[in-house]
């Protein structure tokens, strides 16, 4: 089992969210926030999730309040906001730290020392593309829209489409 799939996170609902459930799928991990200029990316993330989920793809939203306090709400408030405003149905974790001394092991794996694409997360909506084997295939900057041709092409390539 890959290091990615060995992790178990906590979902927005407070229940365990084992990443082993995503083994064999292509996953786009995105640190998200509800009060960010990039928040409208939720709509395109949901469209990606719906378009490719039957092919073995999932978005994984990771709320983070480390960037200008743009995700201040509780997990319940975050979930309600995402469902009501953007129809989000993809899995989401409880809030995590993506940088600093309390960086969650997920982000240590994705961006820490020795990672395929190391370096601090620059802002909300930074994206990591994870292959079916749990390996990191790419890192995309926050302004990269979920429907950006380069990102879509990387997803389709990973899915073998």
Q: Can you give the pTM of this predicted structure? A: 0.97
pLDDT of residue 81: 97
Q: pLDDT tens, 114-123?
A: 999 999 999 9
What CATH number did the domain enclosing 47 receive? 3.40.30.10
Q: pLDDT tens, 87-136?
A: 999 999 999 999 999 999 999 999 999 999 999 999 999 999 999 999 99
CA-based nearest residue to 2, from 139, 161, 134: 134
Secondary-structure percent of the chain, ordered helix, strand, coil, rounded to 5: 35, 20, 45
User: CA–CA distance from 34 to each of 80, 87, 106, 139, 158 (Å)?
Assistant: 11, 13, 21, 21, 29
**Count of the separate structural domains present in the chain:** 1
Q: pLDDT tens, 54-75?
A: 999 999 999 999 999 999 999 9
Range of the domain at 138: 3-159
Q: Which are the catalytic amino acids?
A: 36
């Amino acid at each position: 089992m890959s290091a990615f799939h060995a992790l178990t996170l906590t979902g927005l609902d407070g229940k365990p969210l084992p990443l082993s459930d995503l083994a064999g799928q292509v996953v786009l991990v995105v640190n998200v926030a509800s009060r960010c200029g990039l928040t409208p990316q939720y709509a395109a993330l949901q469209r990606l999730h719906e378009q490719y989920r039957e092919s073995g793809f999932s978005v994984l939203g990771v709320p983070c309040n480390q960037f200008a306090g743009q995700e201040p709400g509780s997990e319940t408030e975050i979930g309600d906001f995402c469902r009501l405003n953007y129809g989000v149905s993809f899995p989401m974790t409880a809030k995590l730290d993506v940088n600093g001394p309390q960086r969650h092991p997920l982000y240590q794996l994705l961006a820490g020392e020795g990672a395929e694409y190391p370096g601090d997360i620059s802002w909300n909506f930074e994206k990591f593309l994870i292959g079916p084997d749990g390996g990191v295939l790419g890192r995309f900057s926050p302004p990269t829209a979920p429907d950006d041709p380069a990102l879509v092409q990387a997803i389709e390539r990973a899915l073998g489409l």
